[in-house]
Chain A
Amino acid sequence: MSEKLEAMRLELRRGILILAVLNALKQEQYGYSLRKALQAVDIDIEEGTLYPLVRRLESYGLLDSRWSSEEGRKRRYYQTSPKGIETLLALQTDWQQLNKSLAKISEANK
């Protein structure tokens, strides 16, 4: 069961991660700092999943990116694009609606 549970957890988190990343990247960040920012709010995501996800969101036009060399270190910075903000708002509305529905089901079946 633990394997199945882990698979279900992953599935549940997959969609939410997009919300979390789009939210976190309202402020410009690079890969490693993004991961730290997510960890700080108890969203622990493997880097092998996070970096490709960020790339995908960028390819969908939801993130803007640029290379920068600050403090002698070359980094790629990402920020949620206007289209990304629009998508985020839509997804957040859906998420809140789902949360409400779940609460109702939970309440009704107590």
Chain B
Amino acid sequence: MNFLTKKSPLDRYIADVKSYLPAKNRADIVEELRVNLAEKLANRAEDSGVEVSEESEIELLSEFGHPLRLAAQYQGEERSLVGPTLYPFYRMSVLVSLVISTCVMLSISLAEIFFRVELGDVSSPWMFVNTYIYIIGVITAGYVLTERLMERHNYLDSWEPNAMEQPDNALASAWGALVACIAAITWLVILNLLSIEHSLETLLGQNQNPIYTLVFWMKIETVILIPQYFYLVFNQTWSRNRLQLRIGSELILSLGCVVILFNNAGSLGLNYPDVPQSLASAFYYVLWGMIIATTLSAISYWRKLRLLEISD
């Protein structure tokens, strides 16, 4: 057979199905499929008195459906990257991250237009596309890993009814809130030890010092948190507004990390030449870790909010 030999629809169909099958048992499955199809064609021809033709092959193949669908039937159990259990969280994480990154990129673009801030190549139109692909890829990988770990450790099977959250009494005590309040104030004092310029440039990461930008965003988050903790000392129940504020404060820090990641994360080594290159590179992972942690925290508060709304 040479390259110009025309293959019958049946041969092309079988070759197509074969290309979609896993290596294990592939030859056997294809052989059986060929035998079954040929026999059915022959029987049809015998019944109708019309010889097997290209048309009769096409008619039969249309009954079998797309080769990809047939091959999928042989694969057995349905598979997906993120299953229905985690899908609502996955969808929300992607949506929130896309909204945050869009806000950041729009802020950067607006800063460039209105404040004449020099941003280099970060404001190119491809920044949006690249960022979306990157974010979706990282979140998908995270959820795929989480789902596989949950399966491996039978997380959902080891569930206990006692572990369910109380939507209206999620905080331990007034003392807990007081400790949290003191800790937040102390944290703010510590952050203030580092004298930074509270400017738009610092906030948007245009100051060539990512640590200053990170501190600025942390201060904003802490300032939002302190009144919340203070209020919780006197009233330990969650209200809808407080949960929304909490989600907002988590997302603010996440937003700050994204800003740094996009703008001045790479200039850490310039400001601190004594810092080894490996540590400067690790800063990227720290930022990603903070983004993931704050997003997960926001999701957990969103979950509380949903429980609260449902129980109302």
Contacts and interface: CB of A to CB of B under 8 A. Distances in A.
B64 A47 contact: yes
A59 B76 CA distance: 10
- What secondary structure prevails in chain A residues at the interface with B? helix
B40 A46 contact: no
Nearest to B36: A31
A13 interface: no
A48 B60 CA distance: 11
B311 to A, nearest CB: 32
Given A56-B76, A59-B76, A51 B33 contact: yes
B40 A47 contact: yes
B40 A51 contact: no
Interface string B20-56: 0000010001011101100110010000000000000
Contact of B73 (A30, A32, A52): A52
Q: How large is the interface on B (under 10, 10 to 19, 20 to 34, 35 or more residues)?
A: 10 to 19
Nearest to B66: A48
Interface stretch (A17-25, A71-79, A86-94): A71-79
Interface in A47-65: 47-49, 51-53, 55-56, 59
Interface in B251-266: none
Given A48-B64, A51-B73, A74-B31, 20 more contacts: A32-B40, A46-B63, A46-B65, A47-B36, A47-B40, A47-B64, A48-B63, A48-B65, A48-B70, A48-B73, A51-B32, A53-B73, A55-B74, A56-B76, A59-B76, A73-B39, A74-B35, A75-B35, A75-B39, A76-B32
